[in-house]
Amino acid sequence: MLYSYRRTICLALYFSTFYLEAISIYETDSFVYHHKESPPSCGYDKTKDIKPKTNCWKSSSLEDCIQTGNLANMAGTNGFYRPRSALARAFYEKQRNDRHLQELDQNEWYRVDSSRLSPELRQKFVQLHSDEETKEFLSSSIDKSSWVWTQIWYLLAKAVLKHFWSITDINGWLGRGSMFVLSEAQARLLLRSAKISGNAAETVVDVGAGDGEVSRRFANLYSVKYATEISASMRKALNNKGYTLLDTEDWWRGQKFDCVCMLNLLDRCSKPKTMLKQARAALAPGGVLMLALVLPYKPYVEVTPDHKPEERLPIQGANFEEQLSSFVEFMGESGFELSSWSRAPYLCEGDFAQAYYWLDDSVYVFTPKSIESDT
């Protein structure tokens, strides 16, 4: 009996150590987040200091943004209360962050400054809004972030598995960290504005699909859906969602698709220019490229030693609209014509610290066009 008690105490101390390490992990993991009164800003994996200290538009690299976060200092600076334990701080700061999210003006996610856009870009802009499917995702994220024991399990598992797996593989195995870009209605609106609509004869491929949650919401506009993904745990999730998996290197050879999706892939892959050439080659006549890209452009490649891409997109600009214009110009030179575009939040399920996170996403529908290299 005494041995059993001792073993229980030892196990409790052992897992408490992992828990404290996990708490420190979510205090130091990098994550880009936004504040409603500031430009895209960088901080850590949770929003402790609600007003960010670093402006990503002015930072020279993603590493600069990651290293300058300071998200714990504000707790208790009013002199009234400063929690001492990691768990107490986590609860206290989660309450502060949840209040901030409640006050957030979600319309800001979809706004652009039309005065900074060319007449052509203004004409092809599609105004989106937070619809029911978007609100359902946010509501689900808020609920999940309040599952205390589940979130502790995620933190403990991450503390152990981070020594062996990538963050993508960990999230796939845990079934967490799902993303959201477009609802079905929003995707329909973008395609309709480009004078395109899915029908029962069409095929779609999601390149770098992750767990498939982003494209799943509108993939049913097409009768057959394919996907590519390098993460083994994510491929399993894609299989369970009914995607036919293709080889990550040869997916574009020997088959044509009516819609190629590259949703937040170009800033996370090593050779984005090569990927665009493959997408163009894989499009069927009348096909479209649906593309999403986070702005400001800050490439980060998980699988390379220095986390830098071999090919960098030539995107320039000091704000969202300028970088968008630069990217559209590059796409034109690469053999794509813009049909429609919009601005939307790239949403991610949250954690013990904050219910959800977001980035500024630019979303496009392109069609292929003739370029000199074709002749």
Summarize pLDDT for 346-370 with one digit per residue, the tens.
Answer: 998 887 778 888 999 999 999 998 7
Residue 333 burial class via C-beta count within 10 angstroms: exposed 0-12, middle 13-18, buried 19 and up: exposed
Q: What pLDDT, on the 0 to 100 scale, is given for residue 82?
A: 58
- Would you say 348 and 151 are in contact if contact means Cβ atoms under 8 Å apart? no
How far apart (Å, rounded) are the C-alpha atoms in residues 282 and 277? Answer: 9
Residue 194 has a pLDDT of: 75
Residue given tokens 């090919």 in the structure block: 311
281 φ/ψ angles, rounded to the nearest 5 degrees: -70, -25
Q: In terms of pLDDT, which residue wins out, 210 or 344? A: 344
Assess whether pLDDT exceeds 80 at residue 92: no
Which is more confidently placed, 45 or 262?
262
Domain 102-366 has CATH 3.40.50.150: yes
Q: What is the pLDDT of residues 152-203, one digit of tens each?
A: 766 777 777 777 767 777 776 666 668 899 999 999 999 988 766 555 458 9
DSSP 35: -
Single out the residue of 173, 162, 37, 117 nearest to residue 343, CA to CA.
117
The whole-angstrom separation of Cα 119 and Cα 122 is 5
pLDDT at residue 243 is higher than 60 = yes
Report which of residues 14 and 238 the model is more confident about.
Answer: 238
Q: End-to-end CA distance of the chain, in Å?
A: 83
> 């745990």: which residue's tokens?
233
* Residue boundaries of the structural domains of the chain: 102-366
Q: Identify the helix (H) or strand (E) that includes residue 283.
A: strand 283-294
Summarised one tens digit per residue, pLDDT across range 328-341 is: 999 999 999 999 99
Share of residues in the chain with pLDDT > 70 (%):
70
Say what the pLDDT of residue 20 is.
Answer: 45
Tokens of 311: 């090919």
> Does the pLDDT of residue 40 top 60, yes or no?
no
Lookup result for tokens 């009768």? 223
Distances (CA, A) of 272 to 211, 293, 308: 20, 11, 12
**pLDDT higher at 40 or 262:** 262
Instruction: Pick the range with the lowest mean pLDDT from 49-58, 148-157, 245-254, 282-291.
Output: 49-58
Q: Which of 14-28, 90-104, 107-121, 250-264 has the lowest mean pLDDT?
A: 14-28
